[in-house]
Structure 1
Amino acid sequence: LDFSIVVVSVVVLALDALLPSVQWLKGLRVLRALKPLRTLTRSPGMMLVFRSVTLSLASMANVSIVVGLFFLIFAIMGVQLFGGRFWTCNDISVANKAACTGYFDDSGVLTERVWTNPYQNYDNVGKAILSLFIAVTLNGYSPAMYAAMAAPSNKDDQPKATSNGIIGFLFYAAFIVICAFCLLNLYVGVIFSEFSKIRLLSTAGSAFLTTKQQEWTALAKMVFRLKPLQRNNPPTNRIRLSCYRAVHTKTFNYVITTVIVVNIIILASTVYNESTAFTNAKEACNYGFTAIFIVEAAIKITGLGWRSYWRNGWNKFDFFLILMAIVDIGFTVIAAHGSQKLLRLLRIARIIKLIKGFKGLKALLTTLIISLPAFYNVGALLMLVFFMYSYVAVLLFGTIQPQAAITNHANFSNFGRAALTMFRVSTGDDWVYIMQQCGVRPPNGCGNPILSALFFCSFTVIITMILLNLFTAVVLENFEIQEEQAEWTLTPAALEEFQELWAEYDDGSGTIAPEQLQTLLIRTDPPLGLGRMATGRDVLRFVFNLDIPLVNGRVPFHRTVYELVRNVSETQIPE
């Protein structure tokens, strides 16, 4: 890849230097946009995503053939039904093309009658395919659909609203349902399949492991990542012990969750131009909520101790919000309105505290966090493609003056504006009109309709239909992994429960006494442990089959977990 890019760059520079006056050679400058692809060889994550896309091309080619056949079928149908029937006169009172001559009064302005054809039409198969491509993106196709519904029976007649309503509507409805809703989603399936296969190759070493083998390799990695929880002994002081017990009750969590919900409701009650009394009441409530959260933190710090309190990530987040709330109140007192507005925005962050109280929300947040590294790789490749297209857009359309869809906010006069415009195109916001304006030929413009169509349609295919769907593939894959883990013989939740039970016997060294192992195995539910119905003989027989060496006369954490997992899930892995 590096060698090819270097060769292309040298050829472009040589031709540009030897033949500077040849206009068509200047078009080769767009090949300079390939240089950023060299970053792929320096980023394993981006290369993984790029490989998944390139290896998906063969499968996507099959899908593309099916989609192309339907495009061709509907394009031919469109030419037969609507070819030459979208032409219209700017004076809607005339009956046909022959009458579309002279001038007419357009709201007090004398205007010449013009017989024109809209940008989206079905005069030939090429135009029909472009119009259908616009329709499949579900943006900017409504004018063409309305034109199809108004198409006259005879060519050169003035279109009339709903004169062909049923046929025009059914044509577009059938195409959108078949191609946009059904066939295009096959691309998502193909990309997801290849992406999952390549990630499995990179993590497990083979994409052809059985479910049992995948379970064993994944659990073995989890075991080595596990760490014994640091023991948090109950304090001996009566006041601290009371706080310690209060923090570990469900009632305490329910009360704090209720306070957070009420706080959110009051925050959401803000309206424009509200009365001063209502604003003051909300501020008083905010002081009360801040006081409650300060008391919550004080109880936790008293009961758990500062080190144990600060060890928890949620507690750090709570403490940060409390500090910002105190600063917010301080600015309110001294009436520093500029900084106060900024700090008040942090009150919204209290909503995040609800997540820790609901397991379902925590699972979703965990899935999102697990997906972040893959999001970074996909996002980096996405930005790379954005950079390349923005650079090419400046070369191709940088001289187009603001007119119609090309405005002071959406243009290609410089790289920054081009990047913002391409981002807008990627969202599908009126991208059709930008493409249309970039295709206007001289003297009305300085664009090229063929280059414009190829540029924007290829960008839509690569970004919207392929790369953006990789984000969906990442999330689906992580959800699929969690569902597969829930069906394992030994689930990750069982390891977490064992980790918590171990902490009750651990003296802080990551080991427990040999006699405590028997109690631990009985308290641990099968299949990882024995359960409460096991006898002493069952424990001895079970431990005899494990290879757990003692360290200074005590049982180590990691070796114990590994042996227990191996006893349940070990299987033969192919070399």
Structure 2
Amino acid sequence: MFVFASFGVQVYGGKLAACNDDSITTEAECSGKFYQQVWVSNSLNMDLNPSGFMVPRAWTNPRNFNFDTIGSAMLALFEVLSLKGWVEVRHVLVTRMGAIHAIYIHLFVFLGCMMGLTLFIGVVIANYNENKGAALLTVDQRRWEDLKSRLKIAQPLHLPPRPLENDIRAKFYDLAEHPYFKWTIASCVMIRSLLLSWKWESHHNQEFDYAKYLVWSSICLTFVFVLEIVVKVIGMTFLGMMSSWRNRYDVLVTMLEIGWVFMYFISSDEESVYSSGWILVAFRFFSICGKHATLKMLLTTVAVSVYRSFFIIVAMFILLLCYAYAGVVLFGTVKYGENIDRHANFSTVPLAVTVLFRIVTGEDWNKIMHDCMILPPRCTPADHYWETDCGNVLAARMYFCSFYIIIAYIMLNLLVAIIVENFSLFYTMDEDILLSYNDLHMFQVTWNMIDVKRKGTIDVRSVESVLKLLNGRLEINKEKDHLLLKQMCYEMEKLGRRSTTGNRFNGTNSNGNGLGCRQADEALYVTFHDVLMMTAYRSVDIRKSLQLEELLMREKLEFEIEEEVAKQTIRRWLERCIRRKRAQTHSTTDNHEHLQPVIVTSTLENDSSEIPANACFSSQRPKGKDSEYPGGNEESNKPKNSEVGKHRRHGLWKPPPSFCKAYAGCLPSVMVDGIKYENGLNYDNGLREDEATTLSTDLDRWWSDSNFSADNHYSL
């Protein structure tokens, strides 16, 4: 712009001035007075001599621009850059300098506006993305951020499940969800909207009163919409249909239309009937937006853009309000001119806000600026600015140019950047996104199969059913990915929330020990977005898609989950071994009244002086004296290898009561039906076969503290 302004000063400086009398062409002849004719309008006084008055001749520049100085030239080109008033500048150049000089202004418009201004907009959008961090992300990371944005917007399908029985309800349900049925209703809505092409008012004085035909057509289409509601109520039930916001809107509009039909037959005031009728037709038109996927996607884009640009809109309003107060102080007393009049001025704050909002759209902002730059003798000067009706040249230039740059070139372009970003979330090719719309729709359908009450939450125990029913990219192979399925289910248990009372479940009992399963009274639930985000994490390569901080947190979480699932798997295997050995023991000891405890240990070595910590205790007691075990006489403290091996049954060995007394305080505690037995089970009371016995994690602690020895004690 500076280059073009310098060129304009050298070529057009001092050469654009002309006499206000078109008959005078030189400055020397531009003196005296002349009669100025005035036309009131183009349609009056065409054949008569128009009225007029005497005007003194003056040799002046064009009213709104000149190229005499570099400042005036840059101001004129800045106005041209906004595509306001450039035709007037071109006309003056062609009239006073020749047709060839039109190339100057055309070249500036092409380079400055169509290229330079577009580059400026690109810089604003690039800076927005860079400050947001999107410009520094890789392709996979950007796709992951887009996916998270789309997952936050995704909602469960507010659609009741199809009736299982193949009866009349199922047929009506299929009819309500059939594409042809939906297209028929949409066509009826469009046909009814076309009725607004004619004005709804009575014409009693005319021979043909078309308003009645419009009303009767609307009544017939109203019965079609009532039929739609009836079909949905039969197929989905009333509560199932009302679970959708779109159906709620349709029911509300249909009820109002039924009331309007009754009012038409009862009321005698036709004007009110016609007025309310076309308003209901307009309300019905908005219902078609939710019936078509593309329209619904466009509305979602607009809604998301408004939500994300809320703070920018608020900042624009605050900035506009500040400029309005400043405009009242600076230009509140400026006299009316070409564009400042009783409808657009700065006399009050509300009027100033309307003028600035008009400037935001670019409507003649430069002409309003020049009206605020009026100087004597066209105004009345005074000592104080609040006493004069003149303007302020410097203040007007700074005020209007700064406001237009901030609002039109920065704020509005930020809004454009947000809208484009949100538009790309919904209109991206499937090969450029991590999860396609079909995958998300499949997850929504699968979720609806489990969430039958449409609450948006399900029990943690139902998560496995959801994962097994998924297809597409979210599909989990139940045979190959069995461990992954366990880990995903445990992640949801860890994330689960209590539905009644209590804190968030973290997978531990009151002692801080891990639980293999939840207690019966812990009703935990997870939301739609919890399961969706978890499946999204598991379906992508987190090392490529996630940023560093999020990657570290996610890897830590997955490591904890894998470790806890491994512990639970080992613990459950041990419990199964215990139950299986107890069942075998019970079948061979029918003469015993009670079952003896079983503790998992390993196979004994040939050296009978050591009892390994992983030896399994058999419930069958060996015959003979107790002197073979600790607690007997001194000679019998050395057990015979043959006798010990005889009764071990390949590592199965059962301690007598004397062993338990000798090793009191060394055996692990056992949790039986919620009762903790310290130093082993109570052999005197015993256990019944039907009692659910599980080993607590004290076994792990006892296992680690296995480095003790004493007289008549085995070194474990």
Shorter-normalised TM range = 0.7 to 0.9
* % same residue: 25
Aligned pairs (5 A) from 1:291-330 = 291-330=223-262
TM-score normalised according to structure 1 size:
0.74
Contact 2:464/2:485, CA 8 A, preserved across alignment: no
Q: Residues 149 and 237 of structure 1: is their aligned pair in 2 closer, same or farther, counting only changes over 3 Å?
A: same
Equivalent position to 1:124, from 69, 89, 93: 69
Would you say 1:288 and 2:220 are equivalent positions?
yes
Q: Residues 515 and 185 of structure 1: is their aligned pair in 2 closer, same or farther, counting only changes over 3 Å?
A: closer
Would you say 1:135 and 2:80 are equivalent positions?
yes
Q: SS at the partner of 2:55?
A: strand
Quick one: distance in 2 between partners of 1:149 and 1:258? 55
Would you say 1:390 and 2:324 are equivalent positions?
yes
Equivalent position to 2:89, from 144, 148, 170: 144
Would you say 1:252 and 2:196 are equivalent positions?
no
Would you say 1:497 and 2:442 are equivalent positions?
yes
Equivalent position to 1:458, from 386, 390, 402: 402
Quick one: distance in 1 between partners of 2:399 and 2:316? 16
The answer for the alignment partner of 1:566 in structure 2 is: 537
Equivalent position to 1:366, from 300, 319, 326: 300
Q: Deviations over 1:371-409 (max 9, x none)?
A: 121232121111111101110111111111223322100
* CA drift at 1:412: 0.8
Contact 2:147/2:434, CA 8 A, preserved across alignment: no
Aligned pairs (5 A) from 1:24-423 = 71-107=1-37, 108-109=51-52, 110-118=54-62, 119-152=64-97, 164-167=98-101, 169-200=102-133, 208-213=136-141, 215=143, 232-234=161-163, 238-270=167-199, 276-333=208-265, 334=267, 335=269, 337-338=271-272, 340-341=274-275, 344-423=278-357
Quick one: distance in 2 between partners of 1:391 and 1:267? 43
What letter is aligned with 1:104?
A: F
Q: Residues 417 and 338 of structure 1: is their aligned pair in 2 closer, same or farther, counting only changes over 3 Å?
A: farther
The answer for the alignment partner of 1:428 in structure 2 is: 362
Q: SS at the partner of 2:542?
A: coil
Q: Residues 449 and 343 of structure 1: is their aligned pair in 2 closer, same or farther, counting only changes over 3 Å?
A: farther
Quick one: distance in 2 between partners of 1:374 and 1:515? 32
Quick one: distance in 1 between partners of 2:89 and 2:463? 80
Quick one: distance in 1 between partners of 2:532 and 2:59? 81
Q: SS at the partner of 1:510?
A: strand
Q: SS at the partner of 2:343?
A: coil
Contact 1:247/1:300, CA 8 A, preserved across alignment: yes
The runs of 5 or more residues in structure 2 that have no matched partner are: 38-50, 380-389, 494-516, 550-716
The answer for the alignment partner of 2:458 in structure 1 is: 510
Quick one: distance in 2 between partners of 1:312 and 1:514? 23
Contact 1:528/1:564, CA 8 A, preserved across alignment: yes
What letter is aligned with 2:303?
A: I
Quick one: distance in 2 between partners of 1:256 and 1:250? 10
Q: Deviations over 1:194-222 (max 9, x none)?
A: 32344458xxxxx7444434555666787
The answer for the alignment partner of 1:447 in structure 2 is: 391
Q: Deviations over 1:519-541 (max 9, x none)?
A: x74x64332115xxx7x744657
What letter is aligned with 2:318?
A: L
Q: SS at the partner of 1:150?
A: helix
The runs of 5 or more residues in structure 1 that have no matched partner are: 1-70, 153-163, 202-206
What letter is aligned with 1:102?
A: G
Contact 2:297/2:426, CA 8 A, preserved across alignment: no
Contact 2:463/2:489, CA 8 A, preserved across alignment: no
Q: Deviations over 1:425-469 (max 9, x none)?
A: 222222222111111113422112121111111111111111122
Q: SS at the partner of 1:307?
A: helix
Quick one: distance in 2 between partners of 1:354 and 1:194? 38
* CA drift at 1:292: 1.0
Q: Residues 379 and 443 of structure 1: is their aligned pair in 2 closer, same or farther, counting only changes over 3 Å?
A: same
Q: SS at the partner of 2:434?
A: coil
* CA drift at 1:562: 5.3
Q: Residues 514 and 374 of structure 1: is their aligned pair in 2 closer, same or farther, counting only changes over 3 Å?
A: closer
The answer for the alignment partner of 2:586 in structure 1 is: none
Quick one: distance in 1 between partners of 2:288 and 2:226? 17
* CA drift at 1:287: 1.0
Higher RCO (CA-CA < 8 Å; seq separation 6+):
1
Q: Deviations over 1:275-322 (max 9, x none)?
A: 743222222111111111121112212221121111111112212222
What letter is aligned with 1:111?
A: V
* CA drift at 1:366: 1.4
What letter is aligned with 1:80?
A: Q
* CA drift at 1:146: 0.6
The answer for the alignment partner of 1:42 in structure 2 is: none
Contact 2:196/2:278, CA 8 A, preserved across alignment: no
The answer for the alignment partner of 2:418 in structure 1 is: 474
* CA drift at 1:229: 5.8
Q: Residues 226 and 332 of structure 1: is their aligned pair in 2 closer, same or farther, counting only changes over 3 Å?
A: closer
Q: Residues 390 and 150 of structure 1: is their aligned pair in 2 closer, same or farther, counting only changes over 3 Å?
A: same
* CA drift at 1:423: 1.4
Quick one: distance in 2 between partners of 1:221 and 1:178? 38
Quick one: distance in 2 between partners of 1:449 and 1:273? 57
Contact 1:105/1:111, CA 8 A, preserved across alignment: yes
Contact 2:200/2:274, CA 8 A, preserved across alignment: no
- Mark the structure with the bigger radius of gyration: 2
Contact 1:187/1:466, CA 8 A, preserved across alignment: no
Contact 1:136/1:179, CA 8 A, preserved across alignment: yes
Decide which moves more: 431-440 or 536-545: 536-545
The answer for the alignment partner of 1:15 in structure 2 is: none
* CA drift at 1:151: 1.6
* CA drift at 1:79: 1.7
Q: SS at the partner of 1:436?
A: helix
What letter is aligned with 2:182?
A: N
Quick one: distance in 2 between partners of 1:448 and 1:222? 51
What letter is aligned with 2:219?
A: Y
* CA drift at 1:556: 7.7
Q: Residues 478 and 320 of structure 1: is their aligned pair in 2 closer, same or farther, counting only changes over 3 Å?
A: same
Quick one: distance in 2 between partners of 1:513 and 1:432? 68
* CA drift at 1:514: 8.2
Quick one: distance in 1 between partners of 2:126 and 2:334? 42
* CA drift at 1:85: 2.1
Quick one: distance in 2 between partners of 1:500 and 1:223? 15
What letter is aligned with 1:571?
A: I
Would you say 1:529 and 2:475 are equivalent positions?
yes
Contact 1:247/1:303, CA 8 A, preserved across alignment: yes
Quick one: distance in 1 between partners of 2:200 and 2:8? 51
What letter is aligned with 1:525?
A: N
Q: Deviations over 1:99-151 (max 9, x none)?
A: 22222233353333222211211111111111101111111232222101112
What letter is aligned with 1:242?
A: K
Q: Residues 195 and 296 of structure 1: is their aligned pair in 2 closer, same or farther, counting only changes over 3 Å?
A: same
* Structure with the largest fraction of helix: 1
Contact 2:32/2:56, CA 8 A, preserved across alignment: yes
Contact 2:200/2:211, CA 8 A, preserved across alignment: no
Quick one: distance in 1 between partners of 2:151 and 2:55? 80
What letter is aligned with 1:386?
A: L
Aligned pairs (5 A) from 1:552-563 = 561=532
